[in-house]
Each structure stands twice: as C-alpha cells, then as structure tokens.
Amino acid sequence: MPKTRKPRPHPVAVVAEVAEAVPPAARSFVGEFREFIARGNVIDLAVGVIIGAAFNSIVKSLVDQIVMPPIGLLMGGLDFSRMEWVLRPDNPATRTVEKVAVQYGAFINTLIQFVIVAWAVFMLVKVVNVIRRKDAHKPPAAPTPSEALLTEIRDLLAARQVPPPAQGG
C-alpha cells in the first residue's frame, strides 16, 4: 500500500506561525531595525560604500595599468609591483614556500592609490563647499502670500493686545 504524503503547509502560514512564536521584545527590536534601515541616511551610506568600492577598483586599475608602467619605464623598466626586499629566500629543494619578503613595491602602488583617492575626495568636498557658500549668500526667499497674511494678522493682534490687569494683593 503506497504511503500518502502529508500536505505541506503554505509558506505564508509557516512564516506567520514563526512570527507568533517570536517574543514581543524581539518583535519590537525587528520593527525598530526595519525603521532604522528604512531611513534615508542608512540607504545613502550603503550606496556610498558600494560606489566607494567600485571607485577603489577603478583607481587600482588606473595605478596598476596606466600610471605605474610609464613610471617604471622611465626608471629603467622597473615593475613596482614586483619590487621586494627578501628576508629569507625560497628553498628550491622543498615544495613549501619558505620565502619571506617585504613587498615595498606593492606598498608604493597602494600609496599612489591612496593619494589619488584622497585627491578625488578633496575635489568632491571642495565642490560641495563652493555650492554651500553660494547657497549661504543667497537672500532668503520672499514669504509666500499665506505666510505674509499670517505675519500681518500676528502683527495686528500684537498691536491690539491690552496689557493684563494688575494683580492686587
């Protein structure tokens, strides 16, 4: 006699069942976390980090493939990425890599990458500061008609206001 399969519960029902099992304190934590993530600043930060990572790849490629080859050629065909100070050479008689070296050429490449990124960030901050200065020197916008009317009503009420009577004692 063939076995009959038990019907599987619907995935939404499973999620609802699990959600009911979560203690209220944890639910409020999850809700608070959802609120935090939904704020614009967190999303902006995440986008900035992703763009920064992509920019880092571009700068690395710029330094390794465009900037350093001509510099190496001018310096007699040096390949900076392979420049190293060997502290302990590799033993060809063994299979394990025993070489210990300070790779200062790679460090020079990284320093150049840092300078390029720092320069790009400096230029970005400089542009933002110019825009902020321009905005700071703009005269304040004229009040809207409704704001002007409310200001006029406030001023009329302030002029009509009678001082409070003196308290006798």
102 phi, psi to nearest 5 deg: -95, 115
Whether residue 109 contacts residue 81, with contact meaning beta carbons closer than 8 Å, is answered with yes
The per-residue pLDDT string of the chain (169 residues; one tens digit each, 9 = 90 and over) reads 566 677 777 666 666 676 666 677 766 777 787 777 777 677 788 888 898 888 888 888 888 888 888 888 888 888 888 889 999 998 888 888 888 999 998 898 888 888 888 888 899 889 988 988 887 777 778 888 998 899 998 988 888 876 666 776 5
The per-residue pLDDT for 136 is: 76
The per-residue pLDDT for 163 is: 67
Q: Round to whole Å and give the CA distance between 23 and 13.
A: 18
Q: Round to whole Å and give the CA distance between 85 and 114.
A: 22
Three-state SS for 26-79 is: HHHHHHHHHHHHHCHHHHHHHHHHHHHHHHHHHHHHHHHHHHHHHHHHHCCCCC
Topology (CATH) of 16-138: 1.10.1200
Q: Round to whole Å and give the CA distance between 60 and 104.
A: 16
DSSP of 86-155, one letter per residue?
EEE---TTSSS---EEE-HHHHHHHHHHHHHHHHHHHHHHHHHHHHHHHHHTSPPPPPPHHHHHHHHHHH
Domain ranges of the chain: 16-138
Show Cβ contacts of residue 9 under 8 Å, excluding neighbours closer than 6 positions. 17
Q: Round to whole Å and give the CA distance between 61 and 147.
A: 56
